[in-house]
Amino acid sequence: MSARTHKVLRGLASLAAVFAFGVVMFGAFVRLSNAGLSCPDWPTCYGRAAWPEQQHEIAQANQAFPDRPYETHKAWREQVHRFLAGTLGTLVFALALVASWRRAWARYAVIVGALCAAAGVALYIRGEHHWSLLLSLVAIGLPLLAALGLDRPDAWRISVLALAVVVFQAMLGMWTVTLLLKPIVVMGHLMGGITTFALLAYAALRFAGVGAGDDGYAGVRRAVVLGIVLLLCQIALGGWTSSNYAALACGTDFPTCLGQWMPPTDFREGFVLWRGIGVNYEGGVLDMAARSAIQIAHRIGALVVFCYLAWLSHRVSRRGLRGYGLAIAVVLVAQVLLGISNVHFGLPLPVATLHNGVAALLLFTLLATLARTQRRREDALFLAYGHR
């Protein structure tokens, strides 16, 4: 592995991570502006590669999909999001290919996996859904096996793993449309985007050489891992809140809910994960008690995460990583203020979108801290591979 290849990997991982963050932000914008079903088919939009613009095209679209009239101000958002996601997939494929290039079997697994993904999309457009699903599963499995078997440092393996995640994320995007915004799928799609960003960001950090000269941060590292797990659970809970249209279930009251500390709630109904197929979930299907339960659970989760990450910030700072501890604290406070503003101001679109983006930034501060507390094993392995 030459120094030039290492530089290419670092650049690709960094570019892909930044691009993934942008896709997460734009995806939040699409979801929060209620444009998730503005293109009723997938991956086309009213049967077009882009979206209808001319009057005769709009008329044809409305005739083809009478149950979903064309909305000019929304359709472009959904299809642009798909274009951005496709571009990200191309970047991740390039990253995985470079990372696996020196191992022929892994290289072929990545290439064949990408070809199966492309063929799966083509077959889906033709209506051959079962064959499309089979090829998509192969497209996920091949890079996954390559990542597990690749004898390279973690950043290399993560780069290949990201390709499997991106393919599955594309499937979740498809199901978001075909299953009519089913909450468990919408939440999964959000988590898939966050996972893609996290993998690429961590790989970029490791390729950049972020790490410690010794292994003296084991205790802090375990605490950071727990913080990442808690934050991911809270992000998932936020996705469940959004996908069930429960963000304003407590009105604009904070910290109370509908003027009470404990309004009528239905936690059992609020957390039913699967409700069958064929229901259109646009606008939500839960009653107010179930939505209030989801909102209250999200607030409790936010309190737990805030307390833990505030403590973690202090602990990280005391271990000599003051910059990392300060970054966690600043982004954490910003995220809490955005969450409160969402409720107080009635979920304005810019604030709600930024709330999603800052959640990803908070995750990045934890990933950066995790990378900083790990030994630079990559360097020794890189030198070992240098003449191979």
User: Tens of pLDDT along 335-387?
Assistant: 999 999 999 999 999 999 999 999 999 999 999 999 999 987 644 444 444 43
Mean pLDDT of 194-216: 91
Confidence at residue 323, expressed as pLDDT on a 0 to 100 scale: 97
Per-residue pLDDT tens over the stretch 4-44? 888 999 999 999 999 999 999 999 999 999 999 999 999 99
Active site residue 53: no
CB 240 within 8 A of CB 187: yes
Residue 381 is predicted with a pLDDT of: 46
Residue 59's CB is within 10 A of a number of other CB atoms, namely: 12
One-letter identity of residue 115: L
Tens of pLDDT, residues 85-129: 999 999 999 999 999 999 999 999 999 999 999 999 999 999 999
Confidence of residue 278 (pLDDT cuts 50, 70, 90): confident
Predicted pLDDT of residue 284: 92
Given this model, what pLDDT does residue 215 score? 74
- State pLDDT tens for residues 154-198: 999 999 999 999 999 999 999 999 998 999 999 999 999 999 999
Convert the pLDDT of each residue in 286-297 to its tens digit.
Answer: 999 999 999 999
Cα 38 to the center of its chain, rounded Å: 21
**pLDDT value of residue 213:** 66
**Residue listed under structure tokens 């950090």:** 205
Mean pLDDT across 56-71: 93
Beta bridge partners of 257: 260
Report the pLDDT value the prediction gives residue 377, as an integer from 0 to 100: 60
Catalytic residue among 53, 57, 71, 78: 78
Angle, alpha carbons 305-244-39 (nearest 5°)? 120
The predicted pLDDT at position 1 comes to: 52
**pLDDT surpassing 70 at residue 242:** yes
Q: Count the Cβ atoms, other than its own, within 10 Å of residue 277.
A: 9
Angle between helices 218-243 and 183-207 (to 10 degrees): 150
**Does 388 score more than 50 pLDDT?**
no
